[in-house]
Structure formats: C-alpha cells, structure tokens
Amino acid sequence: MIEIHNIHKAFGDKKVLDGVSGVFETGKTNLLLGASGTGKSVLLKCIVGLIKPDLGSVTFDGTYFTNNKLDIRQEIRRKIGMLFQSSALFDSMTVEKNVEFPLKMLTDMNKEERMERVNFCLKRVGLEGSNKKMPAELSGGMKKRVGIARAIAPHCTYLFCDEPNSGLDPQTALKIDELIKEITEEYNITTIIVTHDMNSVIEIGDKIFFLHEGKKLWEGTRDEIMDSNIKELNEFIFANRLMRDAKKVEEEEREEEEERQHNGQLSASQGKEKAPSEETVETQDEPQPENPEGPAATTQTGKDKV
Ligand SMILES: Nc1ncnc2c1ncn2[C@@H]1O[C@H](COP(=O)(O)OP(=O)(O)OP(=O)(O)O)[C@@H](O)[C@H]1O
Ligand SMILES: [Mg+2]
C-alpha cells in the first residue's frame, strides 16, 4: 500500500500540485485520471522520488520515503518498477539486454539466474523467443510489453505506469491494460497508472483518483464514476460521445429495472390482497355466526396486512 499525504509542488510561481492525498491499495490497479497538464505525471514522479515535493509525504507499506535516509530510500527504489510513457527502451540493446539491465543494476543474480528471470518475464508478457530482437524491430505494443517485462523483472512490489497504452490501437491498448491488471493481481503488487483514457477506466479502474488543476477532486471505483456529482469530472468523462451513450443506456436500464420492481411490488400486493378474499370466498359458503361484520371485514383485515 502506498500513502501520499498533502503533496504540494510548484515550478517557479506555477503551482502544479496543491495538497494531494490518497491511499493506493495493494493488489489493485489504481488510476490517476485527469486532463492534460493537470499534474498526473508530476505526481507520479513525486511518488517515485524523481521529483522532490515542496511539501507532503509518501509512505510505502508504512515506511516513510520522502526525506528519509538515502539507504532506506534506495531500498524502496529497488522495489519500484516503472513503465515510462515512451517505453524508454535502450535502442542499442536487444530485448533480452533491456530486460536484464535492472537485474544487473539492482540484484546480485549471476548470469544464469538473470537469463532465467529474463526468459520468465518475456514469457509472462507474451514475448517468448523475442530475446535477440532490437527495439527498432518491434511494434508499439511489443515495446510496451518489453517495458513491462523490464519493470517487473527485479520482482517489483510497486509498479508505476505513465500512459501505458498511449499511441496504441484500441485492441492492443486493451491487451496492455489487461496484462498490467493480471500482473498486479497475480503478484499482489501496488500499481499506479497515469491515464486519460476512459477505456482504461472502464476496463481496469479498481480505484480511480481524478485530478483537476493539481487537486484530487474525486476518488472511487469504475462502477461509481458515472454517477459522481463532480462537474469537472462529468465534463471530463462525458466529453466522449461513447461515454454519453453509455450513461444514457445505463439510465434507461435503471429506469426499466425500477419499473419492473414497481410492477413486481404492485402485482405482489395485488396477490396478497387477492389471497384473503379467496379465503373469504371459501368461508362465505360456511355459516359464520361468530363474524358479525361478514366477509367485508375479513377482506379489510387482509388489506391491513399489506
Ligand atoms: N520539470 C518541470 N519544470 C517546469 N514545469 C513543469 C515540469 N514538469 C511539469 N511541469 C508543468 O507541470 C504541469 C503538469 O504537468 P504534467 O506533466 O504533470 O501533466 P499531465 O497531467 O501529466 O499531462 P499529460 O496528460 O499531457 O501528460 C504542466 O503545466 C507542465 O508544464
Ligand atoms: Mg503526463
């Protein structure tokens, strides 16, 4: 679990982050959502320590990170895997060397162990046998996969992805999203993904943090996001026509469901009303001297029960 508390960051007199707090849970895909220029990447960099916040703190599984001693910060950094927006592969290295790189830097594995881990990670992202390819030979989606393999290679506990599916076609983007979610759940890591893609929100948004002008305006799940009363969030979501249509369908379905329930209750209550009167009909045949008010009184009792 990663906790951030009251993060502030300004560049000169430009305030970018204005007191952002939140908890990112383990085993979940946590999304930082927001319009361009709203401070998502700066917040991500503050969390991983690439940018020092002016104020506020970041805690990784209870260990204070910001301003802590160098060796403690380095220990946490070792557990961080990062997928950069551009994949940021080393162009002059093969796929295998790219994935091996953090193992050389961060672990004391020998060559054989490193190769075993490289092959395991490449297989996990669906790139088995691509070891000797150069980045220039890969498609955008394949590059992202290599980036993910490299990020998870040193057994990361925390995975950060900045716009992991930007520049990809919708199907490949979905596959990358699904892969990140699967890895998050399989290895029970804490994942934070920066995105402005509503498809990602719908597909993998376990928890979403909506940033607007450097503030967190809303947080919640993908099931809740369409029903927020936050004007800025609604403007962001429903700028997309598909989302507007989805909302319309959702509202129509809800209305239909309410109508069904209403009709169901109505017929149930009519049924209950009917039952005693049937009883009444049956008992009408029998002499009932002990009921001086007759069948109507029995029916009224039935109604009272409803
Ligand atoms: N190193 C920096 N120096 C000065 N200003 C910066 C720096 N990094 C970011 N900014 C500014 O901070 C603001 C937020 O930038 P950030 O990269 O976090 O936006 P974003 O939400 O990630 O946008 P996008 O979706 O376009 O990637 C921008 O106005 C940007 O110009
Ligand atoms: Mg960004």
The pLDDT, as a whole number, for residue 33 is 94
Range of the domain at 258: 250-305
229 and 116 co-located in one domain:
yes
Average pLDDT score over residue span 60-75: 91
In the block, residue with structure tokens 């429903």 = 238
Count, residues in the chain: 306
The pLDDT, as a whole number, for residue 63 is 94
Q: Where are the beta strands (DSSP E) in 38-131?
A: 55-60, 63-64, 80-83
Protein residue whose Cα sits closest to atom 7 of ligand 1: 11
182 and 215 co-located in one domain:
yes
231 and 267 co-located in one domain:
no
102 and 190 co-located in one domain:
yes
Which ligand is closest to the CA of 9, given by its number?
1
Residue 126 to residue 146: CA distance in whole angstroms: 9
285 and 218 co-located in one domain:
no
Residue 180 to residue 162: CA distance in whole angstroms: 12
Q: Among the listed ranges 55-59, 118-122, 271-275, which one has the minimum average pLDDT value?
A: 271-275
Residue 303 has pLDDT above 60, yes or no: no
Does residue 229 fall inside a structural domain? Answer: yes
Q: How far does residue 36's CA lie from ligand 2's centre (Å)?
A: 7
The pLDDT, as a whole number, for residue 41 is 92
The pLDDT, as a whole number, for residue 286 is 45
Residue 157: which of 118, 176, 184 has the closest Cα? 184
Does residue 269 fall inside a structural domain? Answer: yes
Per-residue model confidence as pLDDT tens digits over 199-249:
888 889 999 999 999 999 999 998 899 888 899 999 888 877 777 787 788
Structure tokens at 222: 């993908």
Q: What is the average pLDDT score of the chain? A: 85
Structure tokens at 40: 């998502």
DSSP state of 225: G
Q: Is 36 in the pocket of ligand 1 (CB under 6 A)?
A: yes
Residue 283 has pLDDT above 70, yes or no: no
234 and 265 co-located in one domain:
no
Q: How far does residue 214's CA lie from ligand 2's centre (Å)?
A: 13
3-state secondary structure of 193: strand
Percent of the chain with pLDDT over 70: 88
Q: Is 280 in the pocket of ligand 1 (CB under 6 A)?
A: no
Other beta carbons less than 10 A from residue 136's beta carbon: 9
Nearest atom (ligand 1) to Cα of 44 = 18
Interhelix angle 111-124/140-152, nearest 10 degrees = 130
Measured in whole angstroms, the distance separating CA 134 from the mean position of its chain's CA atoms is 32
180 and 274 co-located in one domain:
no
pLDDT bracket for residue 168 (50, 70, 90) = confident
Residue pair 209/28 in contact by the 8 Å Cβ criterion: no
Residue 143 to residue 162: CA distance in whole angstroms: 14
Q: How many CA atoms lie within 13 A of 196 on its CB side?
A: 18
The pLDDT, as a whole number, for residue 272 is 63
Which ligand is closest to the CA of 211, given by its number?
1
Residue 225 to residue 130: CA distance in whole angstroms: 39
Going from the C-alpha of 156 to that of each of 15, 50, 126, 159, 190, the distances in angstroms are: 32, 17, 19, 7, 9
Domain CATH number, residue 108: 3.40.50.300
Residue pair 6/56 in contact by the 8 Å Cβ criterion: yes
259 and 171 co-located in one domain:
no
12 and 106 co-located in one domain:
yes
Boundary of a domain, candidates 220, 240, 260: 240
Structure tokens at 201: 């929100």
The pLDDT, as a whole number, for residue 274 is 55
Average pLDDT score over residue span 171-197: 90
196 and 266 co-located in one domain:
no
Residue 216 to residue 110: CA distance in whole angstroms: 44
Residue 150: which of 100, 194, 214, 79 has the closest Cα? 100
Sign of the alpha-carbon torsion through 127, 129, 135, 137? negative
The pLDDT, as a whole number, for residue 250 is 81
124 and 215 co-located in one domain:
yes
- What Rg do the C-alpha atoms of the chain give, in angstroms? 29
Q: Is 47 in the pocket of ligand 1 (CB under 6 A)?
A: no
